[in-house]
Structure 1
């Protein structure tokens, strides 16, 4: 079995969310008819929430297939680093090189356009890159419509392809959110959505020991680890160093899918 086959994430039928929505509407109507207005209104408020919840669950495949673990990885983990390129990138590349580790950098298109030399350095060092939107509109990503999602993902894809000569194959949702319109865009660009199984919330204010205490228990064969560039000076490098040391102590090697 090839590595690509172990990472295959079968898509749910395209009609499934819409069929589920029609079924939910029918259930609401039935409850209203059988139990009266009070219960009908309660169902009307509850049922839509069942369709909103998957939007905010990073590893939910309800609206688009998602990889949350690296199947068939053996004693390897997949390090994924979001939100670059940034001033942290050179230090992270140097650290990965010292540990003979590889990672996937999920890049923001606008930031890549401002620092194309760092994008090329990532690829030259043997790492892979992924699509993390064009401008990272984190407050509204979950609510974007088809045109806006297509523009955000498409512009990033074009920008990264122009810099490296090859379009990315991996995609990570902004803040992990998704909605009913993203699957079609990913299919059009041949992208696979990547979630995670280990995170330390380093993207929010947190001390390095606290971040590592959250991630380390989740380090296991096939783990997909979520890390971030940015934050306080030196934070991203310290977190990455701690993760690599903890992985080595467990006999795990950081690598990327082929």
Structure 2
């Protein structure tokens, strides 16, 4: 049996990437000096492109550990719902209850402070919470410098600890993009970064059937399913209902990572 503790892997050496990057730049200089720019320039570009790739790819482990799926072969999935709390939260909770499903809500700190009763209701009904930044700067979260990144994580962690009664242990980067400064911010709070293995783009796609089709193509035992609430198109609860119905039909159970059904 795999416990939540074994899945919970905060960054242990959050600045290790800096030493590796510094060594790579030293190699670039040495090659450029010894052989010339025709070899040095491609090496320089490759080293910087690696940083860009590690930042923009949600499942990248270049800068910090990340959980992209649950272990084992049991027909279980981890439903994760981003961007709340919102006006949709109550309807989403009712749907989860109706299907006997559990989910982790990755909450935005400022929105949690605006809807503390919704946060408490999530916890009361037995669901999990995660840190999803303080004010969800979707256009530039990936480019935040160290102090601003730390503030996003710190302030959200404080807001969620206040509203939920305990600090979360999970973190999801905004739009999934985690730059080199996310790891140190997570290490301060013992947070584990969570990505996903199945998504339907329901934050922007208003058609529940299209969302479901995308998710189903990626569905496997242990999948971490990315969903949202509060999207402008207003159809997130309807989409969740379709997903839950399909999970039931396929004999999948939506569980939290610390439940006994999560097996190695």
TM-score, normalised by the number of residues in structure 1: 0.93
Q: Deviations over 1:209-238 (max 9, x none)?
A: 111111012222111000011225551112
- Cα distance, 1:10 vs structure 2: 7.4
> How many residue pairs end up in the alignment?
258
Match of 1:7 in 2: 7
Structure 2 residue ranges without an equivalent (≥5): 259-264
1:99 and 1:44 map into 2 onto residues whose CA distance is 53
Partner residue, 2:48: 48
1:106-141 per-residue CA deviation (whole Å, 9 max, x = no partner) reads 000111111111111111111111110110011111
State the alpha-carbon separation in 1 of the partners of residues 160 and 196 from structure 2: 22
Partner residue, 2:144: 144
> Cα RMSD (Å) of the superposition?
1.9
Q: What residue is the counterpart of 2:198 in the other structure?
A: 198
Take 2:28 and 2:42, find their aligned partners in 1: how far apart are those partners?
Answer: 9
Tell me how far apart the structure 2 counterparts of residues 58 and 244 of structure 1 sit (CA, whole Å): 24
| 1:187–1:228 Cα change, 3 Å | same
CA separation in 2, counterparts of 1:69 and 1:179? 21
Structure-2 change in CA distance of 1:154 and 1:113 (3 Å): same
- CA distance in 2: counterparts of 1:13 and 1:157, whole angstroms: 21
**Any unmatched runs of 5+ in structure 1?**
none
For residues 117 and 193 of structure 1, do their structure 2 counterparts lie closer, same or farther at Cα, with a shift above 3 Å needed? same
Cα distance in 1, alignment partners of residues 14 and 95 from structure 2: 42
Residue 211 of structure 1: aligned partner: 211
Q: Which residue of 2 aligns with 1:250?
A: 250
Q: Which moved more, 1:110-119 or 1:29-38?
A: 29-38
More displaced 10-residue stretch of structure 1: 4-13 or 214-223? 4-13
Report if aligned partners of 1:3, 1:72 keep a CA contact under 8 Å in 2. no
- Name the CA distance, whole Å, in 2 between partners of 1:23 and 1:231: 44
1:116, 1:56 → 2: CA distance?
32
For 2:79, what is the secondary structure of its paired residue? strand
The SS at the match of 1:64 is coil
Alpha-carbon offset, residue 245 of structure 1: 1.6
Q: Deviations over 1:130-173 (max 9, x none)?
A: 11011001111111122111111111111111112111111111
Question: How far has the Cα of 1:12 moved from its partner?
Answer: 6.5
- Structure number with the bigger relative contact order (C-alpha 8 A, sep ≥ 6) is 2
Deviations 1:151-207 (A, max 9, x none): 111111111111121111111111111122211221211211111010011122442
Report the Cα offset of residue 15 of structure 1. Answer: 4.8
Q: How far is 1:13 from its partner?
A: 4.0
TM-score for both structures, normalised by structure 2: 0.91
Q: 1:70 & 1:23 partners in 2: Cα distance?
A: 34
Name the CA shift for 1:10/1:159 in 2 (closer, same or farther; >3 Å): closer
